[in-house]
């Protein structure tokens, strides 16, 4: 082969490789497919009919959305990503994130309950559970039972390796002792994923993961925590006193607890980011609807540059958070989910603050939705891992990618 022909062949080959690598690196697409668009529209209709009319009342009364969760169960969304064999819809994470966003737009509490039940409980059992565990801890949980996730403790929040709840092997059983904090939906739930340590000296390498029914002897649920936002969702302490858990309820292998927890938190951050985007979108809707009707200085607020600037900022923050959330749901990894939660939580809080400001005095009144959006948005920077930790995670994996640790 002539040198010129060889060079031409090599050039064409390199161009093809470059084109392929570029396409692969840009594979993320922000457009929803037909099924995901249908999910968004159907959940949006559900929200307008069943959630928005009741959200304020549920919040003010601090009442768990039993009727709304029952309807979502009938629609299959309490097993969104679960295999059809166990009553699920077999959806992907992006479809679930879209559903959580829309639900949170109508009622942040309902969106939060569904998000945690799916991303932290049902998905874990579906992906890691044995056939026997799925029969006991999954099938009924797509039909109305609510699942929980018990990781945090009074002295172990972001510091997961500092868990004090102990697991002691006793033949075919494990004996659990300890206390869990901020267990969402535990007041109404039927079972929980519980993390404990079989050897505190091993730190994260000593963690184990169990599925624990709440009707076992020694399981005690505390009183409902009075919280600032998502008041219709509940959270309480979970105390374990000499709880005998069959070895068959162990998820994964001994010592895999930390790995399992981190994997589920990667998912949870996607759900919280979607939750935050939904709250922010509702805050923007509230602000625009009010600004169109409110007249000041002889014209509607939408004609005032200061208000228009706020609305523009709100729109930009929501869209940027939404894109990061969709990206995280499509390419699941710690860095992506941490970025999504970090941006979505901060932006939702800022958007809700703008909403209150645009409504002025009415923004502080419980007769309007703005103050509820503000309270609901603030929590998205805390639960599922505080904002500070998310930023550290992004930095860690960024430097790891560049071999700079």
- With CA atoms as reference, report the closest residue to 358 among 283, 297, 299: 283
Question: For 294-369, where are the alpha helices, taking DSSP H only?
Answer: 305-330, 334-359
- Contact between 290 and 369 under an 8 Å Cβ cutoff? The reply is no
| CATH for 147-255, options being 2.60.40.10, 2.40.110.10, 3.20.20.370, 3.90.230.10 | 2.40.110.10
pTM, entire model? 0.91
Could you read off the pLDDT of 188-240 as tens digits, one per residue? 999 999 999 999 999 999 999 999 999 999 999 999 999 999 999 999 999 99
Enumerate the β-bridge partners of residue 195.
Answer: 209
Q: What are the boundaries of each domain within the chain?
A: 34-142, 147-255, 259-401
- Looking only at Cα atoms, what is the longest distance across the chain? 83
Enumerate the β-bridge partners of residue 153.
Answer: 156
Q: Counting Cβ atoms within 10 Å, is residue 312 exposed (0-12), middle (13-18) or buried (19+)?
A: exposed
Angle at 29 between CA 23 and CA 35, to 5 degrees: 135
The residue ranges of DSSP E strands in 70-144, in sequence order, are none
Spans of the chain, pLDDT less than 50: 1-3, 5-7, 10, 13-14, 17-26
Q: In this predicted structure, what is the pLDDT of residue 74? A: 97
Q: In this predicted structure, what is the pLDDT of residue 12? A: 56
- With CA atoms as reference, report the closest residue to 348 among 305, 307, 317, 394: 317
- Contact between 256 and 244 under an 8 Å Cβ cutoff? The reply is no
- Residue 400, SS3? helix
* Start-to-end Cα distance in the chain: 47
Q: In this predicted structure, what is the pLDDT of residue 27? A: 58
Tokens 């039927």 sit on residue: 190
Q: Please give the Cα distance from 42 to 15 (Å, whole number).
A: 44
For 235, which DSSP code?
Answer: E
Helices H / strands E in the chain, number of each: 13, 10
Decide if domain 34-142 falls under CATH 1.10.540.10: yes
Domain covering 259-401, topology:
Butyryl-CoA Dehydrogenase, subunit A; domain 3 (1.20.140)
- Residues with Cβ within 8 Å of residue 26, at least 6 apart in sequence: none
Could you read off the pLDDT of 128-145 as tens digits, one per residue? 999 999 999 999 999 999
In degrees rounded to 5, what are phi and psi of residue 222? -80, -175
Q: In this predicted structure, what is the pLDDT of residue 15? A: 52
Q: In this predicted structure, what is the pLDDT of residue 44? A: 97
Q: Counting Cβ atoms within 10 Å, is residue 4 exposed (0-12), middle (13-18) or buried (19+)?
A: exposed
């Amino acid at each position: 082969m002539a040198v010129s022909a060889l060079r031409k062949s090599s050039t064409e080959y390199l161009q093809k490789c470059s084109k392929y690598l570029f396409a692969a690196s840009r594979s993320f697409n922000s457009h929803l497919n037909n099924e995901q668009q249908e999910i968004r529209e159907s959940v949006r209709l559900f929200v307008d009919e069943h959630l928005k009319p009741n959200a304020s009342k549920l919040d003010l009364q601090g009442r768990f959305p039993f009727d709304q969760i029952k309807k979502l169960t009938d629609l299959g969304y309490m097993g969104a990503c679960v295999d059809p064999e166990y009553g699920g819809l077999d959806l992907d994470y992006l479809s679930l994130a879209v559903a959580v966003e829309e639900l949170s737009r109508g009622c942040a509490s309902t969106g939060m309950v569904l998000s945690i039940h799916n991303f932290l409980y049902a998905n874990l059992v579906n992906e890691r559970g044995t056939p026997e565990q799925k029969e006991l801890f999954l099938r009924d949980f797509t039909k109305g039972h609510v699942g929980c996730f018990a990781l945090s403790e009074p002295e172990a929040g972001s510091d997961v390796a500092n868990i004090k709840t102990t697991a002691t092997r006793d033949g075919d059983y494990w004996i659990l002792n300890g206390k869990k904090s901020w267990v969402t939906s535990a007041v109404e739930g039927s079972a929980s994923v519980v993390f404990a340590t079989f050897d505190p000296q091993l730190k994260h390498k000593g963690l184990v993961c169990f599925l624990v029914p709440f009707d076992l002897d020694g399981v005690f649920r505390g009183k409902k925590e009075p919280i600032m936002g998502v008041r219709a969702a509940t959270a309480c302490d979970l105390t374990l006193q000499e709880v005998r858990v069959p070895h068959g309820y162990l998820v994964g292998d001994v010592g895999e607890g930390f790995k399992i927890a981190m994997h589920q938190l990667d998912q949870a951050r996607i759900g919280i980011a979607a939750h935050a985007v939904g709250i922010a979108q509702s805050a923007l809707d509230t602000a625009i609807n009010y600004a169109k009707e409110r007249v000041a200085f002889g014209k509607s607020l939408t004609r005032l540059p200061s208000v228009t600037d706020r609305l523009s900022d709100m729109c930009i923050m929501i869209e940027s958070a939404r894109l990061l959330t969709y990206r995280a749901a499509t390419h699941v990894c710690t860095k992506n989910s941490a970025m999504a939660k970090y941006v979505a939580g901060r932006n939702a809080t800022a958007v809700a603050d703008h909403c209150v400001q645009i409504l002025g005095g009415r923004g502080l009144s419980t007769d309007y939705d703005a103050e509820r959006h503000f309270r609901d948005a603030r929590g998205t920077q805390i639960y599922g891992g505080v904002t500070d930790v998310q930023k550290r995670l992004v930095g860690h994996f960024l430097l790891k990618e560049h071999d700079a640790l």
